[in-house]
C-alpha cells in the first residue's frame, strides 16, 4: 500500500515548467506559507480564490491530470466523508429535512469551507512533492536549517519504506504460497500475528545493520549532503509574491 | 607484540580475538589469529554462522566489547579514539546492499562517505565520478536505489566504499545472490581492483570457484581459524575439505575426473585461467601435441570414489 501511494509520486519531477524550475528552498517556503495561510481562512470566497490559484498552479506545472486524479483520489474520499459528516451534524438553521436527517445552513457553510481549504492545501502539497525530487526537498530543508533529526528521519523513511513494504509483500507471498488465506479465523489471525512479530524482528535487525554500515562510512550524528541550488532573481520575486499573497488572503 | 618491522609490513594483525554478542551465551569467535600483509588479498571461508561477518565487523571496529587485540597498520584499535582513522583506512562492503544504501539517490549515497571524511566539495564530486566510472555506472547518479536491480545495487554499494579510497577493503560475500553474468562481472571487477590498486582485501565468501581468481591466501574459519594457506594448499587438503564441509572449485573437480581418464598433470588447475595455462603447457610438451584420454578398469572405480567424495550420490 505504501508502495502503491509512494512509488511514483516523483514520476514527473523531471518535467520542465515554472514550478519545476522554482528553487526548492523558495518553493518550500512559498508553498508551506500558502498552505498555512489557507487552513486558517474562514471566508468562503477568499478560500475559493486560493483553490483557484492552486488549480492554476497545477495547470502551469504540466503534471498530467490523470496522474493528479489518481494520486488525490484516496485523500479526496476522506475529505468528502468529512464534508458529509459536517453538513449533517452542525446544529443551526435548518435548510431542509429528510426524515431524521437535517441539513443546516451552518453545517453546509462549514462543510464547503472545509472542502475548499482541504483541497487547496492538498493540491499545494501535492504540487510541492510531485514537482521536486525527494532528495532536493531534503537538501532544501537542510539548508533552511530544518531540525537535523527530522530530515534524517525523513530521508531514512523514504528509502526504507520501500524496502519494508517489499519485505511485507514477500512475507505475504510466502505465506500464501503455503496455502495461507486471509480469513477471520483464529488460525489466520494467529498466523498474521506471528508474521507481524517476525517482521518487527527483521526490521529491528535491519536497522542495526544499517546503522553499522553508516558507522563504517564515518557517520556521526549528521548526514551530510551536497546540493547545487542556485537562487536566481526570479526565485526571490516569485517567493515574495507567494508570501504577499498568503498575507493578502487574511487582509 | 608489534615490532617496528610489523608496522610497515602488516595491514591487519588480529591476536586472540574472542567475541560474543551480548544476547548470546557462546562465543561467536574464539581466539582468532590473523596476520595480513599490506597489499595481500585473502579470502575467509567457512559455513553459515561461522562468524565471518562478525570477524569483518570487528576488523572494521564497529562491534564493541571484543577480547584480544586488533591492529590496523601497526595501530591498535580501541574504542572511540581511533574511529576516524579506521574509517579513513578501512572500507567495508556489506552482504546486503539494502543495508548499505540509505540515501534517496545514488549520488548522495556515494558522496556520503567522502563528505564524512571532511573532503572539499570539489574533491567529493570528483571522487563520486571516479568511483562510478570505475564500475561503469556513471549514468546512475540521479537514480533511486530502490529502482535498481540487486546486482546494480551491489555495485553501488562497492562504489560508496571505493569513493572513500580505503587502504583496506573488506567485502562480505560480494558474489552472493548475483545472476551468473553479474557474478562474473563482479569477479572481473575485483580482479581488476586487485591488479590496479595496492590495497589490502579481505573477502568473506562461500564462492569457492571465485577464490583462486581473487585471493592469494585463504583462511578457513569456524568460530576459530581452522586452517590457513594458499588456495592450492587449502583445496588440495581432502581431509580438511571433508571436515569443514567445504567444496573445491569446479575446475579442479573436472581435472581430477580427467585424471581418472588418464590425463596426466602434476598440479590440478584451480581456475579457468589456470586450466588454460596447464593445458597449453601439457599439450606443447607432449609428443604429438595433443592430449590423450582412455578408459581402463580403474577408471570407473576412480570416478565412483570421486562422486562419493563430492556427495553426488545420495544414500538413505
Ligand atoms: N547481531 C547479532 N546478534 C546476535 N547474534 C548474532 C548477530 N549477528 C550474528 N549473530 C550470530 O553469530 C553467529 C555468527 O554469525 P555471522 O553472521 O558472523 O556468520 P557468517 O559466517 O557471516 O554466516 P553467513 O555465511 O551466513 O553469512 C551466528 O550464530 C549468528 O546467529
Ligand atoms: Mg555473513
Instruction: Select from B211, B201, B202 the least CA-distant residue to B235.
Output: B211
Nearest CA in chain B to A210: B99
Strand B10-19, strand B67-72: pairing: antiparallel
Q: Which residue bears the cell 576459530?
A: B224
A7 — pLDDT class (breaks 50, 70, 90): low
Is residue B87 pLDDT above 70, yes or no? yes
Rounded average pLDDT over A174-189: 82
Is residue B239 pLDDT above 80, yes or no? yes
Which cell goes with B279? 593445458
Roughly what angle, to the nearest 10 degrees, separates helices B106-116 and B150-162? 20
A59 — pLDDT class (breaks 50, 70, 90): very high
| C-alpha of residue A203 to centroid of ligand 2, in Å | 18
Rounded average pLDDT over A153-170: 86
Are A143 and A229 within 8 A, CB to CB?
A: yes
What residues does ligand 1 touch, defined as CB less than 6 Å away? B 21, 23-24, 28, 46, 48-54
pLDDT score of B80: 58
pLDDT score of B85: 84
Are B53 and B24 within 8 A, CB to CB?
A: no
**Is any Cβ of chain B less than 8 angstroms from the Cβ of A156?**
yes
Whether residue B103 and residue A215 make contact (CB cut-off 8 A), yes or no, is: no
Instruction: Select from B133, B17, B115, B214 the least CA-distant residue to A226.
Output: B115
pLDDT tens readout for residues B176-235: 989 999 899 999 999 988 887 778 999 999 999 999 999 999 999 999 999 999 999 999
Nearest CA in chain B to A207: B99
| C-alpha of residue B53 to centroid of ligand 1, in Å | 7
Q: Which of A91-100, B153-162, B216-225, B304-313 has the lowest mean pLDDT?
A: A91-100
Is residue B78 pLDDT above 80, yes or no? no
Half-sphere exposure of residue A212: CA atoms within 13 angstroms, side-chain side:
25
pLDDT score of B2: 44
Instruction: Select from A5, A120, A141 the least CA-distant residue to A58.
Output: A120
Q: DSSP string of B5-73?
A: HHHHHEEEEEEEEEE--TT-SS-SEEEEEEEEETT-EEEEE--TTSSHHHHHHHHTT-S---EEEEEET
pLDDT score of A3: 54
User: Which of A135-149, B76-90, B200-214, B291-305 is modeled with the greatest confidence?
Assistant: B200-214
Cα separation, B144 vs A155, in Å, equals 12
Q: Compute how many other C-beta atoms are within 10 angstroms of the C-beta atom of residue A208.
A: 11
Residues of B in contact with A224 (CB under 8 A): 112, 115-116
Q: Which residue bears the cell 549532503?
A: A225
Instruction: Select from A30, A64, A47, A56 the least CA-distant residue to A234.
Output: A30
- Segment (H or E) for B76: strand B75-76
**ipTM confidence score:** 0.83
Is residue A206 pLDDT above 50, yes or no? yes
The widest CA-to-CA distance across chain B, in whole angstroms, is 72
User: Which of A3-7, A175-179, B99-103 is modeled with the greatest confidence?
Assistant: B99-103
Strand B217-222, strand B200-204: pairing: unpaired
pLDDT score of B316: 67
Q: Which residue bears the cell 568511483?
A: B131
Higher-scoring residue by pLDDT: A72, B311: A72
- For residue B93, the 8-state DSSP code is E
Cα separation, A161 vs A102, in Å, equals 44
Cα separation, A220 vs B309, in Å, equals 51
Is residue B5 pLDDT above 50, yes or no? no
Pairs of CB atoms within 8 A across A/B: 86
Rounded average pLDDT over B4-22: 81
| C-alpha of residue A209 to centroid of ligand 2, in Å | 12
Counting residues of chain B whose pLDDT is more than 70, the rounded percentage is 96
Rounded average pLDDT over A95-99: 76
Q: Which one of A201, A205, A206, A211 would you pick to mutate in the ligand 1 pocket, going by the greatest count of ligand atoms within 8 A of its CB?
A: A205
B79 — pLDDT class (breaks 50, 70, 90): low
Name the percent of chain A in helix, strand, coil, to the closest 5.
70, 5, 25
pLDDT tens readout for residues B121-160: 999 999 999 999 989 898 998 888 888 999 999 999 999 9
Instruction: Select from B219, B272, B269 the least CA-distant residue to B246.
Output: B219
Instruction: Indicate the burial class of B57 (C-beta count within 10 angstroms; 0-12, 13-18, 19 or more).
Output: buried
Cα separation, A6 vs B151, in Å, equals 24
| C-alpha of residue B16 to centroid of ligand 1, in Å | 19
Is residue A5 pLDDT above 60, yes or no? no
Are B42 and B36 within 8 A, CB to CB?
A: yes
pLDDT score of B4: 45
**What residue spans in chain B does CATH classification 3.40.50.300 cover?**
7-238
Disruptive mutation site among B82, B87, B125, B146 for chain A (greatest number of A CBs within 10 Å): B146
Q: DSSP string of B197-215?
A: ---EEEEE-S-TTTHHHH-
pLDDT score of B168: 94
Which class is B7-238 in CATH?
A: alpha beta
Q: Which of A103-107, B49-53, B79-83 has the lowest mean pLDDT?
A: B79-83
Whether residue A218 and residue B57 make contact (CB cut-off 8 A), yes or no, is: no
Phi-psi region of A175 (alpha: psi -120 to 50; beta: other; left: phi over 0): alpha
Cα separation, B223 vs B208, in Å, equals 19
Amino acid at each position: 500500500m505504501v508502495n502503491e501511494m509512494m512509488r511514483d509520486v516523483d514520476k514527473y519531477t523531471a518535467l520542465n515548467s515554472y514550478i519545476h524550475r522554482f528553487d526548492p528552498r523558495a518553493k518550500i517556503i512559498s508553498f508551506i506559507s500558502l498552505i498555512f495561510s489557507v487552513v486558517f481562512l474562514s471566508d468562503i470566497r477568499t478560500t475559493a480564490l486560493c483553490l483557484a490559484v492552486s488549480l492554476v498552479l497545477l495547470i502551469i506545472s504540466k503534471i498530467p491530470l490523470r496522474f493528479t486524479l489518481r494520486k488525490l483520489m484516496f485523500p479526496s474520499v476522506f475529505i468528502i466523508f468529512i464534508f458529509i459528516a459536517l453538513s449533517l451534524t452542525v446544529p443551526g438553521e435548518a435548510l431542509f429535512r429528510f426524515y431524521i436527517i437535517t441539513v443546516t445552513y451552518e453545517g453546509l457553510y462549514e462543510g464547503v469551507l472545509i472542502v475548499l481549504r482541504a483541497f487547496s492545501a492538498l493540491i499545494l502539497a501535492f504540487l510541492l512533492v510531485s514537482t521536486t525530487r525527494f532528495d532536493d526537498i531534503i537538501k532544501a530543508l537542510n539548508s533552511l536549517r530544518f531540525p537535523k533529526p527530522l530530515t534524517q528521519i525523513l530521508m531514512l523513511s523514504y528509502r526504507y519504506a520501500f524496502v519494508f513494504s517489499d519485505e511485507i509483500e514477500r512475507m505475504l507471498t510466502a505465506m500464501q504460497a503455503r496455502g495461507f488465506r486471509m480469513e477471520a479465523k483464529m488460525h489466520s489471525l494467529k498466523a498474521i500475528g506471528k508474521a507481524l512479530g517476525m517482521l518487527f524482528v527483521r526490521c529491528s535487525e535491519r536497522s542495526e545493520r544499517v546503522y553499522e554500515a553508516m558507522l563504517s562510512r564515518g557517520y556521526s550524528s549528521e548526514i551530510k549532503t551536497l546540493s547545487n541550488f542556485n537562487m536566481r532573481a526570479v526565485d526571490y520575486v516569485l517567493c515574495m509574491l507567494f508570501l504577499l499573497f498568503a498575507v493578502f488572503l487574511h487582509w | 607484540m608489534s615490532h617496528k618491522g610489523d608496522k610497515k609490513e602488516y595491514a591487519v594483525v588480529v591476536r586472540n580475538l574472542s567475541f560474543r554478542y551480548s544476547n548470546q551465551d557462546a562465543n561467536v569467535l574464539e581466539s582468532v589469529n590473523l596476520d595480513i600483509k599490506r597489499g595481500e588479498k585473502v579470502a575467509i571461508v567457512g559455513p553459515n554462522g561461522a562468524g565471518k561477518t562478525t570477524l569483518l565487523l570487528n576488523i572494521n571496529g564497529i562491534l564493541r566489547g571484543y577480547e584480544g587485540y586488533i591492529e590496523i597498520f601497526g595501530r591498535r584499535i580501541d574504542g572511540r579514539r581511533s574511529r576516524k582513522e579506521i574509517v579513513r583506512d578501512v572500507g567495508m562492503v556489506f552482504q546486503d546492499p539494502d543495508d548499505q544504501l540509505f540515501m534517496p539517490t545514488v549520488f548522495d549515497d556515494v558522496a556520503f562517505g567522502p563528505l564524512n571524511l571532511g573532503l572539499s566539495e570539489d574533491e567529493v564530486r570528483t571522487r563520486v565520478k571516479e568511483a562510478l566510472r570505475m564500475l561503469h555506472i556513471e549514468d546512475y547518479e540521479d537514480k533511486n536505489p530502490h529502482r535498481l536491480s540487486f546486482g546494480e545495487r551491489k555495485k553501488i554499494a562497492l562504489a560508496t566504499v571505493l569513493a572513500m579510497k580505503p587502504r583496506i577493503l573488506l567485502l562480505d560475500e560480494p558474489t552472493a545472490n548475483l545472476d551468473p553474468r553479474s557474478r562474473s562481472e563482479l569477479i572481473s571487477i575485483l580482479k581488476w581492483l586487485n591488479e590496479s590498486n595496492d590495497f589490502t582485501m579481505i573477502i568473506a565468501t562461500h564462492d569457492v570457484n571465485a577464490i583462486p581468481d581473487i585471493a592469494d591466501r585463504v583462511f578457513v574459519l569456524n568460530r576459530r581459524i581452522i586452517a590457513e594457506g594458499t588456495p592450492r594448499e587449502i583445496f588440495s587438503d581432502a581431509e580438511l575439505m571433508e571436515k569443514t564441509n567445504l567444496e573445491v572449485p569446479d575446475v579442479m573437480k573436472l581435472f581430477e575426473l580427467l585424471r581418472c581418464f588418464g590425463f596426466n598433470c602434476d598440479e590440478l588447475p584451480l581456475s579457468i585461467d589456470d586450466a588454460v595455462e596447464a593445458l597449453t603447457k601439457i599439450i606443447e610438451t607432449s609428443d604429438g601435441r595433443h592430449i590423450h584420454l582412455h578408459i581402463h578398469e580403474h577408471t570407473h572405480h576412480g570416478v565412483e570414489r570421486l562422486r562419493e567424495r563430492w556427495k553426488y550420490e545420495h544414500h538413505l
